[in-house]
Amino acid sequence: MSGAREIIGKRVAKFFRAGDLVNLGIGMPTAVADYLPEGSHIMLHSENGFIGLGPIPAPGEEDKDVVNAGGAPVTMVPGGACFDSATSFALVRGGHLAATVLGALEVDENGNLANWMIPGKLVPGMGGAMDLVAGARKVIIAMEHTTKDGKPKILKSCTLPLTAANEVDYIVTELGVMEVTPEGILLKELAAGVTVGEIQDKTQARLLLPDVIGKME
């Protein structure tokens, strides 16, 4: 059976169309780069200053000068371009991103996002997430459905300090795909072998159920 990273990465990659410029955050979202169809003409933006982010390099082929915003080795696709932080954030704040894909500590039924701080723990700061959620036309959260100790991460109301309020559009986990609507979180797709009861049991917020729930592929 595929792991959570593969399931989530493959599904998020299906959101995009040719010509889209998409930002990938650090952590789970980086998996998306490995599953974009070859020749898809989707360009990936990395907050630290380049367009053309590619898949993770093969062992031994890492280039210390080609890393993502989290400092992890990546590749660049032909036609990629590097630039300074001012240009990078001009792209973000100017509304040029079709979407951003971010990880999360918590998301709630109002589309609020908490993904930068756990009180009492040392953190480097919010980083560019606050700009990304405000500037991208679509905000997609890619994360495991629960914490390591099984607690829900999709809540009625976030308990951690917010990164942004009312900005999340979609949530993709290893259990399913959900859309944040004005009425609440709509369950759009279920992963193979997952039931409505199982995903609801692992979700604090009440999931809205459409007449037909799709299959997450």
Are 108 and 158 in contact by the 8 Å Cβ rule? The answer is yes
Q: In sequence order, what are the beta bridge partners of 22?
A: 44, 99
| 47 is annotated as an active-site residue | yes
Separation between Cα atoms, residue 189 and residue 215, nearest integer Å: 5
Separation between Cα atoms, residue 132 and residue 2, nearest integer Å: 29
Give DSSP secondary structure letters for 23-36: EE-SSGGGGGGGSS
Catalytic residue among 6, 38, 47, 109: 47
Are 53 and 74 in contact by the 8 Å Cβ rule? The answer is yes
**Backbone conformation region of residue 11, classed left if phi is above 0, alpha if psi is from -120 to 50, else beta:** alpha
Q: Which helix (H) or strand (E) holds 98?
A: none
Are 146 and 202 in contact by the 8 Å Cβ rule? The answer is yes
How many residues belong to the chain? 217
Q: What residues act catalytically?
A: 47
